[in-house]
Amino acid sequence: MSEILPLVWELLWALVEGVLLGVFFYAGLWWTVRRLSLVKQVGLLFLGSLLLRTAVVMLGFYFLLGDSWQHLLAGLSGFVVARVIVIRLTRPVDKLKTTVMADSS
């Protein structure tokens, strides 16, 4: 039991790191899409945001989670969980009302 506990903590930490990287990536994507109508050079904003978000996430996966496949798998799972969280938090209010009303009936 004592040798399993450190592994569990390492995997939970990798999951949290994956969630943080995912929140950074998907919240950055949401922020970029919201700003596209406000700038004149849409392509530059989109490409710059894409490169920055991808570089940070790739470096994060490499340096924080790249030491074993178990850590990578836990981090990737956290990344997917973050996608679900960001989608739920950034959903438009009218769709949220429709979903809640459909679930309650």
Task: Say if CB 90 and CB 28 are below 8 A apart.
Answer: no
pLDDT reported for residue 64: 85
pLDDT reported for residue 29: 94
Domain ranges of the chain: 4-104
Instruction: Evaluate the CA torsion angle 9, 10, 11, 17 in order and state its sign.
Output: positive
pLDDT reported for residue 97: 62
CA count, 13 A, side-chain hemisphere, 68: 7
Separation of first and last alpha carbons in the chain: 47
Q: Helix count (H) and strand count (E) of the chain?
A: 4, 0
pLDDT reported for residue 93: 72
- pLDDT tens sequence for the chain (105 residues): 678 888 889 999 999 999 999 999 999 999 999 999 999 999 999 999 999 999 999 999 998 888 889 999 999 999 999 999 988 988 877 665 656 555 555
